Amino acid sequence: MTRPARALLKWSNLRHNYRIARQRTRHEAYAVIKADGYGHGMTACADALAGEADGFAVACVDEAVRLRDAGIRQPILVLEGAMEPAEWQLASRYHLQLAIHHPQQLRDRAAVVFDEAVAVWLKINSGMNRLGVRFSDAPEMIARIRNDQGLILRHVMSHFSSSDEADTACYEAQKTRMLGQAWPVPLSLSNSASVLRGGVEGERVLRPGIMLYGSSPLEGVTAREAGLRPVMTLQSALISTHSVPAGESVGYGGSWTATRETRVGVVAIGYGDGYPRHAPAGTPVNVAGVRCPLIGRVSMDMITVDITDAPEACIGSPVELWGELVDIDEVAALAGTISYELYCRLTPRVPRTNLQ
């Protein structure tokens, strides 16, 4: 018999969230499905959005080639661009669009010959100081691209460093810097947080990521308030129950001690499955329809939950760790991380079950 831990993936919710991105601004939207679709399955995400997405965005050429080999025919943008000359040839062969963020990438391109021109997006460093060319270098980079018969400059892009924060001063400053230039091609600026703020007037292509999976990127705004629906529901079941008298401790290190006669439920899930090891006591877990608190330390294969106030709970009762009943953003915040990491760290031993 297999362990009961599993991830249910509701693709109708992915499509719903993508439509919200499109409806907020009416612009084109490249669905960001890098990192194996934020842990949801990259190819499955692409298949689910195949009839709706204007294009897809991934991190690297390898991810893009996997999508092409799986039969995905929409435009695919590689956000990190080519990392070596051979990847330029792959981009031409597989009709991939590449971000250019450094002069070295153009030097690599000059070292190879390919048959079909490659569409490129020039990435500008507007304040994040991660990838991108500076404004002062942009005219030369644009000229080099446009003078290369093997390249087609499709868009100018940038990435916001703080569009998710309640204080929008940095976000507004980055927008102003990008909109204050006369660019020769349309802009692509908005990530999920910017999309939910209404996008940027004058841009052409959005790049929604985390919002597609049903998590809110906005500080102080829940996914439900943003109209988003969770795509992934992480489930398991109780595999044991027992009582612990007041004064006794539960789990490694005895970090949690019962203050009353406590009924304890043991759930088959742990950090070996991707549940956050640093989730503290009190983290919500839904057991048999009742919100119950995590108690004790998270183990590799199990967690313990106070089910005293869920009298119907018994061995085999269903447990939700996050999804429809438990907001993953709340779990992530209590564990000192973000939902992106929780989605991406879900391990292969948790089977994914695809729903409509």
Residue 175 has pLDDT above 80, yes or no: yes
pLDDT band of 24, cuts 50, 70, 90: confident
Give the domains, in start order, of the chain with CATH numbers: 11-213 (3.20.20.10), 232-355 (2.40.37.10)
pLDDT in tens, 187-232: 999 999 999 999 998 899 999 999 999 999 999 999 999 999 999 9
For residue 181 the two structure tokens come to: 């230039």
Instruction: Kindly compute the dihedral angle of the four CA atoms of residues 270, 274, 280, 283, in this order, to the nearest 10 degrees.
Output: -90
Per-residue pLDDT averaged across 117-125, rounded? 98
Yes or no: say if 75 and 55 are a contact pair by the CB < 8 Å rule: yes
211 DSSP assignment: G
Burial class (CB in 10 A: 0-12, 13-18, 19+), 351: exposed
State residue 323 phi and psi, 5-degree precision. Answer: 145, -125
Question: Which residues are 56's β-sheet partners?
Answer: 31, 76
Residue 162 has pLDDT above 80, yes or no: yes
pLDDT band of 306, cuts 50, 70, 90: very high
Residue 65 has pLDDT above 90, yes or no: yes
Residue 2 has pLDDT above 90, yes or no: no
Cα–Cα dist 21/169, whole Å = 23
Percent pLDDT > 90 in the chain is: 96
Q: Which helix (H) or strand (E) holds 306?
A: strand 303-306
Q: Is 216 helix (H, G, I), strand (E, B) or coil?
A: coil
Residue appearing with tokens 């994040």: 128
The Cα angle at residue 226 between residues 54 and 47, in degrees rounded to 5 = 30
pLDDT in tens, 100-112: 999 999 999 999 9
pLDDT band of 1, cuts 50, 70, 90: low
State residue 243 phi and psi, 5-degree precision. Answer: -105, 145
Average pLDDT, the chain: 96
DSSP 235-303: EEEEEEEEEE-TT-EESGGG-EE-SS-EEEEEES--TTTT--TTPPTT-EEEETTEEEEEES---SS-E
pTM flag (> 0.75): yes
**What's residue 278's pLDDT?**
96
Active-site amino acid positions: 34, 252
pLDDT band of 94, cuts 50, 70, 90: very high
pLDDT band of 25, cuts 50, 70, 90: confident
Percent pLDDT > 70 in the chain is: 100
CA distances from 93 to 23, 61, 96, 117, 178 (A): 34, 12, 8, 10, 32
Per-residue pLDDT averaged across 159-165, rounded? 93
